Amino acid sequence: MITSASATDRPGRIRATAIGFTAVLMWSLLALFTAASGKVPPFQLAAMCFLIGGLIGVSRWITVAQARASLRQPAIVWLLGVGGLFGYHFFYFTALRNAPAVEAGLIAYLWPLLIVLFSALLPGERLGLHHILGGLLGLAGAALIVTGGEGLAFKQEFALGYGAALLCALIWSSYSVLSRRFSSVSTDVVTGFCLITAMLSAIAHVALETTVWPADTVEWLAVLALGLMPVGAAFYVWDYGVKHGDIQVLGASSYAAPLLSTVILIAAGFAQATWAIAIACVLITGGAALAAKDMIVRRKT
């Protein structure tokens, strides 16, 4: 398992940031694998995937005493972790049920920018103008991808869905930033977060949905891939990254997820390349580079 890195240890901080960014790479596969999973309802899919994701860490609980000891945490740690993972997905699915996907998705994608802004509240962190501008450029790029370059149509009758989308952005950004306050807590505890989230998702599924199992081997493999990567390992490396890496860079660079996701869908034949995607690529890449200016310059020197 990943070892701890001090925020004052620059090579360790860069390494932790790179590890955290692999979560963004895995999240870029979310749309492709979800599309390939067939018609499995959202909460059922979440329950299945978080169970798989939790099982990733169970083997360490069995073989490593230190991993088992990670379960003995204050209630606030469990509230933060489970609230972050389950809360985000609950309100995201609620948003999509009660508002058009384009507007709801864009509001939900405020979370990377909010991470950049909220990081100013952390001890030892300095929020610069280039961090904010980098986050705003990333948000502009995400807006182009989500809307396809077309206008938005916010309507009052979808207020519940918009509110849920905003809550999901606030929950994930708050979870990511507040996790930094518990940097001494081992990433092994994420296993528990995933298993409890799987249980809560299963309860929500029973209450709100009709069960639909994957129809064939390809759909089962897609569910397995989701649980192993974007709804599994991604949460472990993200936990480590936000605790020990450069959280402003991670926040701004997270806008790469919708861009890479779209590129993957294009490569797989599920979407077409457009001018909006090309411009979004420039905006998101430029925004991430701007936010990472301090890290890049200091590393060269």
Checking if the pLDDT of 272 tops 60, the result is yes
Contact in structure between 279 and 147 (CB atoms under 8 Å)? no
Residue 16 CA to residue 239 CA, distance in Å, equals 10
Question: What value does the CA radius of gyration of the chain take, rounded to a whole number of Å?
Answer: 19
Burial 23-54 (b: 16+ CB within 10 A, else e): bbebbbbbbbbbebbbebbbbbbbbbbbbbbb
Q: Is residue 133 part of a domain?
A: yes
Q: Is residue 124 part of a domain?
A: yes
Q: For the chain, what is the domain count? A: 1
Supply the pTM of this predicted model.
0.88
CB atoms within 10 A of CB 168: 26
Checking if the pLDDT of 7 tops 60, the result is no
Q: Is residue 100 part of a domain?
A: yes
Structure-token pair, residue 180: 């930094």
Residue 132 CA to residue 92 CA, distance in Å, equals 25
Specify which of 3-17, 137-151, 161-175 reaches the highest per-range mean pLDDT.
161-175
- pLDDT, tens digit, 9 for 90 and up, residues 278-296: 888 888 888 888 877 776 5
Contact in structure between 70 and 188 (CB atoms under 8 Å)? yes
Q: Is residue 284 part of a domain?
A: yes
Q: Is residue 4 part of a domain?
A: no
Angle between helices 275-291 and 293-300 (to 10 degrees): 60
Backbone angles phi, psi at 82, to 5 degrees: -70, -40
Q: Is residue 217 part of a domain?
A: yes
Checking if the pLDDT of 171 tops 70, the result is yes
Q: Is residue 86 part of a domain?
A: yes
- Domain span holding position 19: 10-300
Residue 117 CA to residue 120 CA, distance in Å, equals 6
Residue 17 CA to residue 238 CA, distance in Å, equals 9
Q: Is residue 1 part of a domain?
A: no
Span 32-52, average pLDDT: 95
